[in-house]
Structure 1
Amino acid sequence: MASTNVMSVFEELESEVRSYSRSFPTVFHKAKGYQLWDESGHEYIDFFSGAGALNYGHNDDRMKEKLIEYIQEDGITHSLDMASKARKEFLEAFHEKILKPRNMFYKVMFPGPTGTNTVESALKLARKVTGRTNVVSFTNGFHGMTLGALAVTSNESKRESARVPLEHSVKMPFDKFIDESVDTQMKYLRSFLDKDGSGIDKPAAIILETVQGEGGLNAASFEWIKEIEQLARDIGALLIVDDIQAGVGRAGTFFSFEPAGITPDIVCLSKSIGGYGLPLALTLVRPELDIWSPGEHNGTFRGNNPAFVTGKAALEYWEDPSFEKEIARKSDKITDFLQKMIEKYPALEGSLRGRGFIQGIRSDVPDLAEKVCEKSFQNGLIMETAGPNDEVFKLFPPLIIDDEGLDEGLRRLELGIRDAVQ
């Protein structure tokens, strides 16, 4: 594998803030589907998928063709939020292929093309609609790196980076954080949020991830999610689902909350919604809540025409019911494999986390999850850790990975586990 000298340019010229180039110390050059190659021609299987921004893999042929065609015909690249053909066609496709088949109707807002910006817009709108200030978020939640999103994030090191007070947010325990019983958990939450005398102001919104990505792949039960929706209704708060990482098929269905049967007031999407890895974010809003004044939340790069083109092409995957069925089948394969690893390697002190294509193993052995990722990289597999102490190694294969690629990636992961526990 690559020696450290190939990283000298980055070490000398790039800021110390860089992160992933430290975890994966090689210079990548080419990528296709579920594979990457570095400058020396070494091949890697991608169980990272751009932290969930590449659910459809690298350089998808259909998206690439549409993008090249659009560029060659001098299609609009930058247009703020002016109407464009690409914007119109994406909106139509998203409504017809995603929302309508699910009996959903949301107005689509295009904030700045990042996950943290869709969260900022959701928080701002919830406060405007309700006239309230506080927002309830959850332990181990992560919602972005700008100040509003950091205020509802629980990760201590991320919050400290703000260097200013992060206010107007109340943290509550996520599902199973303190108790396994949904009834007990909800009594606790209601004692603070739905009773006088708690000292907590009625919140504008409750924001949650159904599967916490950076927080350690904690998957909320569908029963708990439904109870949170009911709590929000009872106290007059809006329910915001942050589906930036767990959405667009990553948790098994297009929206991660579909199996729970809830209807969020606001949904935040980014990462893979652009299909090709191009920046794009959507804030989905129930029509009656769409009380923005023109330009009240804006940004120079709100919307992204090339991403509209590739994002529209990506939605074609969801026209075929077999696509979602294959995600479910391969998810079961991942689950079975991880359970076998927990049994086969007791030194992991492991427990299963997540669901769908957002799964992993939590290890109670300090630094072992990081070591598994390091050893896996040496065996040609790219993956990362999650959790407040990096205690979970997580599998994020592209949704389009075939059985051959998935099996080979899992084989390399077992090598990494074996090497890490020796």
Structure 2
Amino acid sequence: MSRHVILNANVLDLGISGAAWELSGLPRDTVASGDYYAEIGRIAERGTLDAYFLADNPAVREDPRRTPGRALEPTTILVTVAAATSHLGLIGTLSTTFNDPVELAERLLTLDHLSGGRAAWNAVTTYNPAAGGNFGLLEVPSRAERYSRAHEFVDVVTALWQGAAEGRDIDHRGTHFTVSGRLPLGPSPQGHPLIVQAGGSPQGRELAGRTANAVFSAELSLAAGVEHYEQVKQVAVRHGRRRDDVAILPGLITIIGSTHAEAVARYERARELLGPVHELRRLGAVLLHDLVPYHLDEPFPAHVLAELPDPESFTGSLGFRESVVRGVSERLAATGGRYTLREAIGEFGDGGHRRVIGAPEQIADTIEQWFRAGAADGFNLMPDAFPAGLELFVDEVVPILRRRGLFRHEYAESTLRERLAPTATRLPAAV
């Protein structure tokens, strides 16, 4: 287990809430400003958070009239954040499905050099059909094909980084890639970037346990968190690594108020701004089922939760779907099947990540409970709206965690590797 809770700021444009734009009070074009991202980085560093996390999706997934942004390329934003900070880690999401490993390895190693050893790569596969169309594909490769490519992609990138650090050429000849030579850069201050993985499917856990320094997971209950935590740790051990070589970091949506009632009022205001159709569509996107035609006050349609006949053909995120299916199924069982669709969107409408609404003490209680129970080594924080949601966490929750001995008072390490993976074993270069 980490020496303290790991806390990253997951910067999703103006925030995770669909009403983040209204809650923030910022102009619509804010998300195209480098100053905006730099200021969030400065807030996160003021709270001594571990890293700044950026998602990415090479396609338009949501109505840009409602959710402006997600148009800037992650590594470019992270260069801006690196210039505005001194210690904050920089984690960028880049797909193994629609990138080239040599170009990606050089781009991220460049970021690692420019930031003084603070970079990490969140390696994901891309299942969105719209993204495939942007790359000339009529359909996205199957899950098995995507993960086969992802495993080899990560091996090639790791080999290139290690070759750069050791001053040697690599000679990789595999199913998907043939790569010979070396990168022009030498080792960064931390050797090379860390690897993060975000995937809750069996294939995702296998990739994470074998290669990742940290995992961005999506679990809604403590029991599910403990189960996933153990699964990934056991995969790591099976591949000759130590349990502590991979940190498990669930997403945590935070809606914070000075009191619980104030936080609830903030949350309900956002729901009113959006209306129930937005939540129905967001939850339906996770389950890959149109929920809009169903009556809100009828029991949740149980057939939507049925086991997939062919999980390999499922085109959404299996990890998100599994966490929501488990959560809704538990509520249906507890209520004798009377759990309504309206209740479900109120509890799970954010789509896959645990949500905590409350005063700072309540947020800190959840973090401590999961950390001490062995369900998480830390969290990827997802405030409802920036910058206020992150400022509240930094100014109100962080001091509580410090008083409990769960979080640092100041940065003691100069690189991200020293903070997140100080004892991690070196990954073998598959060349």
- Measured against the shorter chain, the TM-score band is under 0.3
Taking structure 1 as the reference length, the TM-score comes to 0.26
Q: TM-score, normalised by structure 2?
A: 0.26
